[in-house]
Structures are given as structure tokens and as C-alpha cells.
Amino acid sequence: RKVFPGYILIQMSLSDEAYKLVKSTSGVTGFVQSGNKPVPLEEYEVRRILSNLETSKEAPKVSWNKGDAIRVVEGPFSDFSGKIEEVNSDKEKLKVLINIFGRDTPVELEYSQVEKL
């Protein structure tokens, strides 16, 4: 389950060698930083994240299929309706055709941003 899509939380001692190793990992684009220095999470922040994970329930799995009618519930296209054009189950993303200004426009959305109609 994706808690912070696009982010990986790791616990590590941040030596120059470790920094370079993580930075050179495929798919890693950088660290959350202030200036040029990575910013660590405070211990209370980690406890709160872990506590929320333990107490939250896994969202029910929904099967998505090409042609399904959906409504966008989150993000800039919230409240728009559309039809699924493509499903990427590995990345948990959908390509949806949404009618914007009279044209069907393909938009890529996370599973969590839509609901079935």
C-alpha cells in the first residue's frame, strides 16, 4: 500500500558513501532537503507514521478494467467523470479519458484518486 507515493522512507547513517549509494540508485531523484542538506524525520514523526499504518485498515481492493466508468475524487480533476482507457496494475495507475472543453483528454491518475461509478 502506498502511503507517500513517490517517496521512500529509510533509516540510515548519512555518510558520504551512503548518500552517493542512495543517490545513484535507479529511480531515486533526490532527498527531501533544506538547501543542500537532507532533512531527517524527527522520532515523533516516525512514531506517528508507524502508528497510523498500524491502526489504518487496508482499503478494499477494487478491480479496474478498460471501459469502466469512474469519477475523480482527488486532485485537479476532482468531480470529473471519465472512462478507463488503460490499467497499469504494477504502478497502480489508470489512463482515463476525461471530457475537458468538449474533447476526450487522456489523464494519468492513481487508483486512490478515482472511484467506480
Distance CA 89, CA 93 (A): 7
Sign of CA dihedral 46, 49, 55, 61: negative
Q: Taking the model in full, what pTM does it have?
A: 0.51
C-alpha distances in angstroms, 30 versus 14, 22, 91, 104? 14, 9, 20, 35
Q: What is the pLDDT of residue 99?
A: 93
Distance CA 41, CA 39 (A): 7
How would you write the pLDDT of the chain (117 residues) with one tens digit per residue? 566 777 888 888 889 899 899 989 988 888 888 888 888 888 898 888 888 776 655 555 778 999 999 999 998 999 999 999 999 988 889 999 999 988 999 999 999 899 999
Q: What is the DSSP string of 76-88?
A: TTTT-EEEEEEEE
Q: Which residue has the cell 486532485?
A: 75
- Go through the domains of the chain in sequence order and give each one's CATH number: 1-58 (3.30.70.940), 69-116 (2.30.30.30)
